[in-house]
Chain A
């Protein structure tokens, strides 16, 4: 099984901390991530328009290139990349006419798209392939007394055909936190919309979402959140700035990528550069818990 890593744009920029930490933990778990060559934009947001195949091309071109590079599967870290690539693949493969059209269009590529490369999310690899038991063996600094809420959002779970877990009642990330020695807390708003791209056109909508989601997490006893989506992270973390301005009594909460906490639990030293990519500085929290 040849497994390739698909980064996508954000993992190289605003979510570099996500990529770095993922690379390091996968190294320790003995399955280093190998970046595919020549990748382009994942397609950002699966388009529901059924009669404009142009909108699927970017995703399909990535999958075709992965096929040609001999990858059986493509691992995504970003929930959005995972969702977009996987849905585009199903959409095109399930309709012969669509398949013919995109292949005609991509005549300059080395070969035609067949759909032999699977799209998987890193969380599925951790749970199903590596297993949480193996992960536990690598924990050197358990996340003792860390009460962590897992924020799923929508892209890992919907539509239900591509859900990485029960789409109404997932537990994969809470289990991961428990595996790392922490306390994975189920909070009511963990699947509620983060506001997604409203963050650009209707910032107020997102601010209100952030306010409700963070408060819901706090009421349930969470001290910090984890996520696997750079867009959710942007809304839940960066937007806490505006949220604090709008709601004076609001108090902030650190938001991590799940891989950052895995890295800490595996004994990897916290990288100061990661801190810069957070709006809510996680260092005081990590210090208090004795992790840095």
Chain B
């Protein structure tokens, strides 16, 4: 039988006023298992801690109950006391008689009675506590970054600068993400490419970064600190080492494909470089649109390529990597504009999306930065911007605010005015959300100086009349229906998680919210970590945000990853689940309940096993297990039974 010491704290008057600590000390002296009992004004103070240490020594105690405040406050203090006295820290139980007792009662009789029950349950639990030791595992000192937009680029550079290896996987032929498509960026109106390309070049030249483009994650196994990943890279028909960027191949290629980089406003060939500053700087052969990789079908590009960089026999490759931490930065897409047929996108060439307008504004875009409308190349004299297109409409579209469109729309209107001085921009809006640093000033300056007309209300429909687009909506300030004639209409589309991130979460089994954005472990206190250990979230994959916020979050995720990578071992509380192999039937009900993916059926023994590093000890599996095989260390059914017996006896 354990020799248990019980230490009841007064907490000044916090406990003592509602719990008769003297009476309890006398009553519990003879309780089975109690070898020593004492009360003191402040158990957590140094003299209080010394009282415990001395008692352990003098009375040969091997289990301690401290009846005091919540374990979230001082459990670790008292665990240290045990460790310093050469006792295992899991032989400590805290009986919370403050938050759960004295603070919620007025009557000293009631308070004393409840404290008695709480202390007795702690004693009963402690009697069956095992000595436990933290779980540990080694760490592979390499990070995987998925997605090469600004978020992924920033995270990769931070980790690589911190001295650790990074593997970056990007689905497209070049890194850069959406930011490389933007013209100028709010609120400072600096050129997007000018601030992004130095980072892209730095990434490609960094000795600690390995970049795989045209690649996707094929599979991921293992657990935090110890992942095995397989990366699938599409066949590299153009050898980047040999390609000298002469552009001869595109001249001979007979196939025209709508250019994704230009949001369909221009064309590219089946063999192409996505944009001049692409990283890696090389050409990509798009097999889906190529006439056929054989001389009979076409073969013009290979014939023309004097550098002999084109190889039609190239094959898809699978690359294996060992990884410690994963950063997910898979970005966003625009809400599908086809979902709002009443806006006429697709039917009328002069209704375009915000990203298309970015391309029109961009010096590297299809119009060289001059503003012409797509249908007839006319300079639009009146232009209407429709904010919240697809956002903030829980009944039909997205329920949430996409956060960035108020700001980029205003930027669009300003840039338009800077180029077409006598033009008139109108903006339909619900409210203006300009919460960032210097954002409100950006708005105010535009409203007072740039002659932009804001109309508060939603747009119902857009249709064509002659060569004008008619934007029909509501002016909710005057309560009138309004129709504005425009030469060009720009839809400020909402933001949704990228298609690539939908595919990826299936492979990785990490949590997403009800909108499909990646879920953070805690909305306030752990915003850059996933609930799944070893996964960190950066940028718009976690929710709509602009560049400054994406970069901050990416650096946050990188620093969390660096904490992991810089540890030699990872440690973990041993209060976790275990499986009684004799009782487990292998039904795997528990496997699905575990939110951390810590349980797996051993295919040979047909019983479930717990990954000790992944298990957070939440207990979900234990309540789900129909045969009582799933148990939690130091919280076994026996222990809980004994505790319930005390409470039920009422004594």
Contacts and interface: CB of A to CB of B under 8 A. Distances in A.
Given A160-B396, A188-B470, A188-B472, A219 B465 contact: yes
Interface in B465-492: 465, 470, 472
Interface in A184-199: 188, 191
A168 interface: yes
B463 interface: yes
B515 interface: no
B340 A168 contact: yes
Interface string A153-170: 000000010000010110
A166 B396 CA distance: 12
A219 B468 CA distance: 14
Interface string B313-346: 0000000000000000000000000001110000
Contacts of A191: 461
A160 B396 CA distance: 9
Contacts of A188: 461, 463, 465, 470, 472
Contacts of B465: 188, 219
Contacts of B341: 166, 168-169
Instruction: Say whether chain B's binding surface is mostly helix, strand, loop, or mixed.
Output: strand
Contact of B342 (A160, A169, A219): A169
Interface string B423-441: 0000000000000000000
Contacts of A219: 465
Interface string B347-390: 00000000000000000000000000000000000000000000
A34 B519 CA distance: 56
A160 to B, nearest CB: 7
B460 to A, nearest CB: 9
A166 B342 CA distance: 10
A169 B341 CA distance: 6
Contacts, number: 14
Q: Sort chain B's interface into a size bin.
A: under 10
B395 to A, nearest CB: 8
Contacts of A160: 396
A208 to B, nearest CB: 11
Contacts of B396: 160
B463 A168 contact: no
Interface in A163-213: 166, 168-169, 188, 191
A226 B319 CA distance: 63
A168 B470 contact: no
Contacts of A168: 340-342
A168 B344 CA distance: 11
Nearest to B465: A219
A158 to B, nearest CB: 11
A185 to B, nearest CB: 12
A166 B340 CA distance: 11
Contacts of A169: 341-342
A127 to B, nearest CB: 18
Nearest to B464: A188
A188 B461 CA distance: 8
Nearest to B462: A188
A169 B348 CA distance: 14
Contacts of B472: 188
A207 to B, nearest CB: 16
A253 to B, nearest CB: 18
Contacts of B463: 188
Nearest to A219: B465
A160 B395 CA distance: 10
Nearest to A170: B341
A230 B230 CA distance: 65
A160 B397 CA distance: 13
A267 B461 CA distance: 38
A191 B460 CA distance: 11
A191 B342 CA distance: 10
A54 to B, nearest CB: 28
A151 to B, nearest CB: 15
Interface in A76-127: none
Interface string B552-594: 0000000000000000000000000000000000000000000
A188 B472 CA distance: 10
Contacts of B461: 188, 191
A171 to B, nearest CB: 10
Given A160-B396, A168-B340, A168-B341, 11 more contacts: A166-B341, A168-B342, A169-B341, A169-B342, A188-B461, A188-B463, A188-B465, A188-B470, A188-B472, A191-B461, A219-B465
5 contacts: A160-B396, A169-B341, A188-B463, A188-B472, A191-B461
Interface of B: 340-342, 396, 461, 463, 465, 470, 472
Ranked 6 nearest A-B pairs via Cβ? A169-B341, A188-B463, A168-B342, A168-B341, A169-B342, A166-B341
Interface of A: 160, 166, 168-169, 188, 191, 219
